[in-house]
Amino acid sequence: MTPRKLLPLLGLLAGFAWAQSGGLVDPARGPVPIPDPTEPPRLGNAVNDDVRRPRNYDMQPPTIPHRVDGYQIDKNFNKCLDCHARTRTDFSQAIPVSPTHYIDRSGKVLPQISTRRYFCMQCHVAQDPVQPLVGNDFENADTIAKRAAEAAQANKK
């Protein structure tokens, strides 16, 4: 074997040995090295306050402000539509499904939810009251625009 082919192989073996010795750590897993098993976090109580949360960016799917444990959503039934279907919202007082969910791939408006928008929890997620795994100083566009407008107003004075 030529040295040119041997060097990458040795590097790979050295990296593998380092990982096996506990050298690689993923911040999302905590201090436990990657090869070692971890204890999964205990499931907490999902947020169940029905408070609408602000969206962080345009076109972000709204989060689910209530528990959805055990909701049946399959090709035969969608529990979300018991309350959120446009025909049920007068009774349930839930937010109706967006009109965009009634449009198919070709842009045709359908009388029922489009199959591409039928499985709600592919985009919409329930919330858990947990601390973030990593820091985040994200600000949405509305916050930045408001601060810029206030700064411009202050500069005029």
Is residue 146 included in any domain, yes or no? Answer: no
Whole-prediction pTM: 0.63
Residue 116 to residue 126: CA distance in whole angstroms = 20
Q: What is the count of structural domains for the chain?
A: 1
Predicted local distance difference test score (pLDDT) of residue 25: 73
Closest CA to 52 of 140, 141, 124, 136: 124
Amino acid (one-letter) located at 47: V
Write out the residue range of the structural domain in which residue 60 sits. 45-128
CA distances from 106 to 35, 59, 67, 114 (A): 47, 20, 34, 11
CATH (domain of 49): 1.10.1130.10
Q: What is the pLDDT of residues 79-125, one digit of tens each?
A: 999 999 999 999 999 999 999 999 999 999 999 999 999 999 999 99
Q: Identify any residues that bridge with 32 across adjacent strands, giving them in sequence order.
A: none
Is residue 65 included in any domain, yes or no? Answer: yes
Q: How confident is the model at residue 40 (pLDDT cuts 50, 70, 90)?
A: confident
First to last CA, the chain: 76
Is residue 120 included in any domain, yes or no? Answer: yes
Is residue 36 included in any domain, yes or no? Answer: no
Phi-psi region of 4 (alpha: psi -120 to 50; beta: other; left: phi over 0): alpha
